[in-house]
Structure 1
Amino acid sequence: MIKLGMSLPQLHWYDLRTDITATAQAFEEIGLDSAWAFERLLVPEDQSGGHGLYGMPDVPWPEYYRNSPDPLAVLTAAGAVTSRLELGTNVLVAPLHLPVVLANSLASIDRIIGGRLIAGLGTGWSIDEYDASAPRPFAERGAALDEFLDVAEAVWGPDPVKFRNERYTISPSTVGPKPARPIPVVLGGGRGKALDRIARRADGWLPTNLTPAQIGAQLAQLREKAAEYGRDPGAVTCITQVIKRDFSRVTTAGREPYAGDFEQFTEDVAALAEHGVDHVFLASSSAARDRAELVDWAAQFHGAVRAAGL
């Protein structure tokens, strides 16, 4: 059975004090398997040149990115009022953080919520966020992600922890708490070095809005490469995010993937499962008017997919 999830309400028109916890509880009661939060550190006023959305020249950032709360705080709040729901980041920009501090934060949260954290990580795309926070420059973002994974492997492992590279030294030390379970690390991207990184060391792949056929083709490449590294190809999972803001029925021929109402979208979920996806979640909080509408969509999503036997 494919796992189902939804994004949490962490945008500026939601009431952070009440909506995050109430929505997480509702998601769990509905029967969803997961809830998700994203990281957005800032929105630059100057969005010209390479400072636009996704680093594209002069492409404006969405207004809903303004005032986005820390995803780890969001997930901790959600975890405090739930007992079963897995809680994931999509994505946490690991290179914006000091590696040891982030590894400790993730382990602490996993302990607090009882072993339900999914660490969805990426390198990000905002030069402005790197300038504001990152220990290493934007040009080194891939190497910085690898460095975090190295540090996390050490910190989450047995004591005494010992680590050394050209930037950081952990003398033999007790570092805790340890995660309640091995934290699943799923990575975004899917081409070139990113594909190689996933195949070599990640628990899973985290694509966004690729079609079922595109996911199937890239997942086959990914698992083949994982086998070349001596890994079990089937151990590399696929969790896909679908950004969906319109749930009206498509009545014309040639419906695009992920368009349409929940009944039509269920056909896409079936196709995703056929192409090897283990877990799909909707990022729809930016389209919902309020918590009630977001929860209603979650109920319709879960109901339609499970009624289809998926």
Structure 2
Amino acid sequence: MTVPLGLGLPQNHQYDVGRDVPEVARTAERIGYRSLWVYERALFPRPMTQGLFGIPGRPWPDSYRSVAEPLVTLSLAAAVTTRARLGTSVLVAPLHLPFQLAKSLATLDAASGGRVVAGFGTGWSLDEYAAAGVRPFEQRGRVLDEVIEVCRAVWGPDPVSHEGATTRIAPSVVGPKPVRPIPILLAAGNQRALRRLVDHADGWQPLAVGAEETAAQWRQLQDLAAERGRTAPIRTVLRVNTAYTPERYEGRDRALFQGDAGQIVDDLAPHAAIGFDEIIVDLQQGARDAQELKEVAAEVYEKVRAAGM
């Protein structure tokens, strides 16, 4: 059985969002990609005030200098496609006001015929939290909990009501409603986040960090689900961030998923064998423009299917 593939849409600074997102979305759907995905990076501090992922001294990649807003990007893709699911991988949910976020996602789902998948995370950038001004960084877990609660309420039957730390909704009619319940996936890593996923979310969005480590994380999550008595299946969508190069990367220091299409697919194979429900391949970082991104996306898709994945 072949694993469904998703493609990251062009959001970075080398792309013309209004022109390139619709073109790449149409092409990806035609190639056979089953889903289209966006990520969120709100700003790029200059000078750097915090290392990447909060790791002291680790530089932010140049690709973060300009990242198009995720829901606007998905709306552009929704308008020119008919089948591909439209997902966030991930949206830093606590940067958003819960009610507005829930309503935006519901509207996009209604407009696209029920194709939205909501992937949420808590993020790590202190500067982004300060700029958003919703809640302090230290409260990010509690804010994500409330975002999930508000989304479930707003997407559910009327009258909608909610009483929380950030959001208070008096009994109200709130529409439009999603075509069907929007799946909520979490990019959970630590034990507290995994418990939140097991108790309140529909699925998991891990980042590919090596087949052995990724498989161990999946086993840990399954064990926790059994321990907490979860019976509903956990939907799994693996995110693969690549560093594409036009020519084969020959250096001994080659990182995971760095290199040409063949090397990317070689690294993908052991991850696919773990048995994820879907795999997102984000190729935009190494591509010079939308034309190259479309060509690489087609080559990767062809090689994945030729390898029997």
TM range, normalised to the smaller chain?
Answer: over 0.9
Identify which of 219, 243, 246 aligns with 2:244.
Answer: 246
Q: How far apart are the structure 1 equivalents of 2:117 and 2:187?
A: 13
Unaligned runs of 5+ in 1: none
What is the RMSD computed on CA atoms of the aligned residues? 2.1
Give the match for residue 144 of structure 2.
Answer: 145
Q: How far apart are the structure 2 equivalents of 1:306 and 1:83?
A: 23
Cα shift readout 1:106-137 (whole Å, capped 9, x = no counterpart): 11111111111111110011101101114210
Give the match for residue 293 of structure 1.
Answer: 292
Is residue 2:234 matched to residue 1:236? yes
Is residue 2:43 matched to residue 1:42? yes
Given that residues 47 and 59 in structure 1 are in contact (C-alpha distance below 8 angstroms), is that contact kept between their aligned partners in structure 2? no
**Paired amino acid for 1:305:** V
Cα offset, 1:46, TM superposition? 3.0
Cα shift readout 1:228-252 (whole Å, capped 9, x = no counterpart): 333236x112211111113544679
Cα offset, 1:62, TM superposition? 2.3
Aligned positions of 1:130-169 closer than 5 A: 130-169=129-168
Q: How far apart are the structure 1 equivalents of 2:30 and 2:295?
A: 12
Give the match for residue 69 of structure 2.
Answer: 70
Q: How far apart are the structure 2 equivalents of 1:229 and 1:158?
A: 28
Give the match for residue 8 of structure 1.
Answer: 9
Q: How far apart are the structure 2 equivalents of 1:285 and 1:273?
A: 21
**Paired amino acid for 2:290:** R
Change in Cα spacing, 1:255 to 1:67, as seen in structure 2 (3 Å) is closer
- Percent identity between the two aligned chains: 45
Aligned positions of 1:20-169 closer than 5 A: 20-48=21-49, 51-169=50-168
Change in Cα spacing, 1:169 to 1:206, as seen in structure 2 (3 Å) is same
Q: 28-37 or 272-281, which moves further after superposition?
A: 272-281
**Paired amino acid for 2:101:** L
Given that residues 216 and 276 in structure 1 are in contact (C-alpha distance below 8 angstroms), is that contact kept between their aligned partners in structure 2? no
Cα offset, 1:166, TM superposition? 3.6
Q: How far apart are the structure 2 equivalents of 1:35 and 1:301?
A: 15
Q: 123-132 or 238-247, which moves further after superposition?
A: 238-247
Cα offset, 1:91, TM superposition? 1.1
Give the match for residue 214 of structure 2.
Answer: 215
Q: How far apart are the structure 2 equivalents of 1:179 and 1:105?
A: 10
Given that residues 195 and 224 in structure 2 are in contact (C-alpha distance below 8 angstroms), is that contact kept between their aligned partners in structure 1? yes
Given that residues 71 and 89 in structure 1 are in contact (C-alpha distance below 8 angstroms), is that contact kept between their aligned partners in structure 2? yes
Local SS of the residue matching 2:17: coil
Cα offset, 1:186, TM superposition? 1.1
Change in Cα spacing, 1:226 to 1:253, as seen in structure 2 (3 Å) is same
Given that residues 213 and 275 in structure 1 are in contact (C-alpha distance below 8 angstroms), is that contact kept between their aligned partners in structure 2? no
Q: 22-31 or 168-177, which moves further after superposition?
A: 168-177
Given that residues 242 and 285 in structure 2 are in contact (C-alpha distance below 8 angstroms), is that contact kept between their aligned partners in structure 1? no
Is residue 2:261 matched to residue 1:262? yes
Cα offset, 1:266, TM superposition? 3.4
Local SS of the residue matching 1:298: helix
**Paired amino acid for 1:241:** R
Given that residues 28 and 84 in structure 1 are in contact (C-alpha distance below 8 angstroms), is that contact kept between their aligned partners in structure 2? yes
Cα offset, 1:198, TM superposition? 1.4
**TM-score scaled by length of structure 2:** 0.92
Change in Cα spacing, 1:149 to 1:244, as seen in structure 2 (3 Å) is same
Cα offset, 1:255, TM superposition? 8.1
Q: How far apart are the structure 1 equivalents of 2:230 and 2:47?
A: 45
**Paired amino acid for 2:143:** A
Cα offset, 1:262, TM superposition? 3.4
**Paired amino acid for 2:235:** T
Q: How far apart are the structure 2 equivalents of 1:274 and 1:58?
A: 35
Given that residues 40 and 92 in structure 2 are in contact (C-alpha distance below 8 angstroms), is that contact kept between their aligned partners in structure 1? yes
Q: How far apart are the structure 2 equivalents of 1:261 and 1:275?
A: 23
Q: How far apart are the structure 2 equivalents of 1:261 and 1:61?
A: 23
Local SS of the residue matching 2:161: strand
